[in-house]
Structure formats: structure tokens, C-alpha cells
Amino acid sequence: MKTRPRASAARRPLCGLLFVAAAGAGAQGLSGGMGSDLGLGYGNASGNLHGAGARRSSAGSESDSGGRSFYMTPTLVVGTTLTNNVNLSATNKESDLILDVRPGIHLGGQSGRVRGYLDYTLGASLYARNQQTSTFRNYLRANVDAEVVPSWLFVDASASISQQFISPFGTQSPDSSLNNSNRTEVTTVNVAPYVQGQIAGEVNYIGRAFYTYTDSGTSLASNSTVWGALLGFDSTTRWSRLSWGLDFSYREAMFTDRRNEFDQLNVLSLNYAVTPELRLTVRGNVETSNLTTLDNETTSGWGGGLRWKPSPRTTFVAEYDKRVFGNSHLLSFDYRTPRTVWAISNRQGLSTGQFNNGRGSSTSAFDLLFAQFAKIEPDPVARAQLVNDFMRANGIDPNSSFNNGYLPNQVVLERRQEASVSWLGARDTVVLNIYQTQSESLQPGVLNPDEPLAGGNVLQWRGLTANWSHRLTPLATLSVNAIGRRTSETFGGQETTVWTGLAMWSYQLAQRSRLSLSARYTTQSGTSSYNETALLALLNMSF
């Protein structure tokens, strides 16, 4: 398949940096599961279920009905890693030469009113020192959405297989080919049918059911199921600037060996457009749940917010809601100039997973680039192809992960603050990101004493990313990055700090082949500790 012109335009100046930029944001995905729709506000955190992005436009679906061409791209990545600590041990270092072979396939396209993509890679690692030992890993990203009944009934479905850490204080490494008992393979399946339309040509409605199942892949972590439904209505009034919304939602989270946790939320909201750029919202809610007590509890609350977009380059959002668990809030500010992007945010809400969208998906390069490229290519199928083209051109491993979270066994309260800035020069790019996240149980008294959040314990993650990249020639790129993160707790004294430094030179050998040479140093101290140095060579090919 020929690369789209806009993909080439994005590829040349970025020089592969978005991979590391997002790693700092890496841990930054919005809390999903019960978080994205119930923790940071309501619906899409805009006050109801009907803000931008919540509803699929009929015109858009019709325009897409012609379909985009189907693509299938087989890939093969062959690499070697020479490491001085293959077991990530603090006292018994053992060097090894690892051969990595990763065949894969990228599929995507649209036929009629069905579109989607599938990216699958099988990772195999062979070890020179211990030839009888080999490891195999699966990586999957798949998404499909279908318009079953034109302009009314839709179905979204997705699946993922990724590598994640089990314990927040266990051994952590960005390289999944190294031996690590703290890593597990997580599988997630998600299905969400929904309907949308109008009643009497006046009132808009949208209804969505959802089901998500996550298999942790280990007895040391819980499997989870999150299911529920959302129903919302909205309409304008005789005053064109004033509109209202009425939303109902129910979510239930089930974890292995834990009681079911549910939340039922009813919200009435009023929205007023002061100007086309400034919108205000006030709302009230009635909520019934067992998130904070053993018995069902019904409370009432209130909230409001504003969204201000004075220019296409500036956005400010402020949301606050009083909830059964306390409050949820979202403050964010984004500003763009021709050469810089600035972003600051502070948020608090519910989560069913730490840094993994509650769906078992790690912060892989693909996931992060997929989010970054949303403004370049809004269509998910075309964006998936764009991301794959970009990663092949820059020698980026789509399955590498800097996930520093873990797999909890309950709904948790999560707070996160972060700031990031990126600067794009003629041949250089600099990206800085810093974040802090706290996670605590809503019912610490009912947990077993050996669980991380028992007794009111609060887990905290602090991290930063600094990255610099320089385009040496039109075909060669040099990049250097540093990633640091610290995990701590308020009780118990456990603490882990991880630093990773990576320098990479990459060169485009041919249109579909790219070679990269890297040097990496990782050190972890605290409850778990080790040092590791590695040299890597990677040949990325597509057919």
C-alpha cells in the first residue's frame, strides 16, 4: 500500500519521537472502565452522553459507506539483544544473546457499513546461553464497528492481548524478552452495541450497552468483568442557547474472589452557550451504589463545568461533580503554537485499572501513537494504517511497553496531575512530560491485609520523560531519551524507582526495510532492584 502524503509529512519532522513522547504520557491514559464515563464527569466528561464524539453522525456514516480499500500487510521483525542481565537479578547477573523473531500481519479496511482493523504479532525469543528455553508472546489489537441498521443501530467491538506487570513493586523492564516473573499476558474483549435517533424530531436519544472481560493470565491477579448500560436524552429549548440533558447509567464490576461492585447514576443537566466558544453546564445527580459501603447507598449530588475554546489552538476545560465517593473533577489546558504543544491537566475519578484504560491494554507504542494521530486522521481504520506506516519508517517496536501500573482487584479512586510540552524544530524535536498519580481503595477495611490498598494504603506513581531527536539525513535519525518513574506507598515502606536510558540510530535501507541500532541502560532500586545494560539491533520489514 502506498503511504498517504500526510503520513509522510508527519513522519519526517517527528522522526519517531512520538513513541517516547507518549511513553511519558504513557502512563497517562484516562482511567477507563468505570472511570471514563462515571469518574471524570458524566458521559464523555462534558456533562452528558451527547457531547462531541459521543454520537456518530448519520452524514458521516453515509459518506463512509463507499468504503476504503482493504489492506493486508505481512511484517517480519528480526532482532538481537546482547544483555548483561537476562534474568534482571540484583546479585546473580547472567549475560545472554537473545534472538527475537516477530512475524505479524496488519489487516484493515471497510466493506459497506462495516470497518475495522486487526494487528497481530507473535513474539518468539531464543536464548543462546540456555538453548532449551524459549518464550512466546502474543500481541493483538483489533477493532471493528458496524452500522447494523442505517443511522440507528451500531456495534463497536475490540480485543487486545498485551504484557503487563502484576505487582507495582515487582521487577519492571521495558523489554519483554528478558526473564521477568512479574510480567503476565493480559487478554481483553469488549463489545458495545448502541442506538441513536430522535423522538418526534425534537429530542435526541442515545442508548449503549457494554461488556468488557479481562483475563489477567495469572492466578496472582484478578480477572475482571465490567458491564452495564447508558441511556441519554437531550434537546434544545425555545431559547437557542439553552439545552438540557437527562442521563441514566448502570455499571457493574466483577473481580475474581471479590463481591460485585455497582454504580447507578441519574443526571439532569442544563447547558448554556454564552458564546460559540464558551459553554457552561450545571447538573444534579442521584446515585445508588455499593462502592463505599457494604450495603447499597443512595446519595444526591451536584456539579457543573465550562468548556472554553477561544481559538482553534487553545482549549480549557473545568468539570466538578459531587459523587457518592467524594468528588470527581477535571481541569485541563491545551495550547498549540506552530512549533510547540503545551498541556496541563488535573483529574480525579474512578478506575478499574491502573494506567491501562481498565481493559488490559498496556501503554504500547501503537496505542499511544494511535491517540496522538487522532487529529491527523480521525478515521480509526485509516489511522491504524498510518500508525503502522509511521512505526515501520522509524524502527519503532509496536509492542514495546512502558506500563508501570498493575492489575487491581477492585474499583479504585484515582487522582492524576501532569504537564507536558513538545517543541518541533527544523531537524530537532524535544518532548518533556511529568506526571503524578495516586490510587486508593474506596473500601480499604474489607481488603485482605496483604493486598496493596488494604488499611487505607495509597499507592503513588511519579514519573518523567525527556526526549531529544535529531534528523541526521533524510534517511537517518538519532534519538536519545530518558524515562524515570517512582512507585511508593503511604504504609509499609515499599518503594521502587526505575530509570531507563536509550540511544538509537535508525536508517531507512529501502522503502519497506529499516535498520536500527540501540544502546540501553536500565536500573531499578528499592523493594526490587537490578541493573541491566544491552545493545540491540533490529531489522523491520514489511511485504
Q: How far apart are CA 484 and CA 241, in angstroms?
A: 47
pLDDT of residue 508: 87
pLDDT of residue 118: 92
Q: What's the CA dihedral at 33, 35, 36, 37 to 10 degrees?
A: 90
pLDDT of residue 320: 93
Q: How far apart are CA 423 and CA 317, in angstroms?
A: 23
CA distances from 429 to 23, 147, 309, 363, 541 (A): 15, 41, 27, 22, 26
Cβ neighbors of 325 (< 8 A, separation 6 or more) are 291, 292, 350, 413, 442
Question: Which candidate, 21, 12, 102, places its Cα nearest to that of 540?
Answer: 102
Question: Which candidate, 467, 465, 464, places its Cα nearest to that of 480?
Answer: 467
pLDDT of residue 358: 29
pLDDT of residue 374: 64
pLDDT of residue 34: 41
Q: Are 493 and 373 in contact (CB under 8 A)?
A: no
The pLDDT tens digits for 378-432 are 777 777 777 767 665 554 555 554 444 567 778 888 898 988 887 777 888 787 8
Q: How far apart are CA 164 and CA 399, in angstroms?
A: 11
Can you spell out the DSSP letters for 420-477? Answer: EEEEE-SSEEEEEEEEEEEEEES-GGGS-TTSTTGGG-EEEEEEEEEEEEEE-SSSEE
Question: Which candidate, 429, 396, 390, 399, places its Cα nearest to that of 518?
Answer: 396
Q: How far apart are CA 510 and CA 403, in angstroms?
A: 32
pTM: 0.79
pLDDT of residue 120: 94
| Three cell numbers written together for 425 | 524544530
pLDDT of residue 302: 94
Tell me what the pLDDT averaged over the chain comes to: 80
pLDDT of residue 50: 52
| Three cell numbers written together for 111 | 466493506
Neighbours of 511 (CB within 10 A): 11
Neighbours of 515 (CB within 10 A): 17
Question: Which candidate, 321, 317, 244, places its Cα nearest to that of 284?
Answer: 321
What domains, with CATH codes, occur in the chain?
5-67+75-349+366-542 (2.40.170)
What are the counts of helices (DSSP H) followed by strands (DSSP E) for the chain? 6, 22
Q: What's the CA dihedral at 45, 49, 51, 57 to 10 degrees?
A: 140
The pLDDT tens digits for 102-140 are 999 989 888 889 989 898 999 999 999 887 778 899 999
Cell numbers 491527523: residue = 376
Question: Which candidate, 464, 385, 426, places its Cα nearest to that of 117?
Answer: 385
pLDDT of residue 486: 92
CA distances from 225 to 33, 252, 482 (A): 9, 8, 36
Chain centroid to Cα 156, Å, comes to 17
Q: Are 423 and 432 in contact (CB under 8 A)?
A: no
Q: How far apart are CA 162 and CA 542, in angstroms?
A: 22
Q: How far apart are CA 45 and CA 36, in angstroms?
A: 7
Cβ neighbors of 149 (< 8 A, separation 6 or more) are none
Q: What's the CA dihedral at 401, 404, 407, 409 to 10 degrees?
A: -160
Taking the CA atoms of the chain, what radius of gyration do you get in angstroms? 23
Q: Which mean pLDDT values do the consecutive 10-residue runs of the chain (543 residues) have?
A: 38 34 30 37 40 46 51 91 94 93 91 89 92 86 92 93 86 89 90 93 92 89 89 89 93 85 92 94 94 90 94 92 90 85 87 45 51 66 71 55 60 86 80 86 76 84 86 89 89 89 90 90 94 94 86
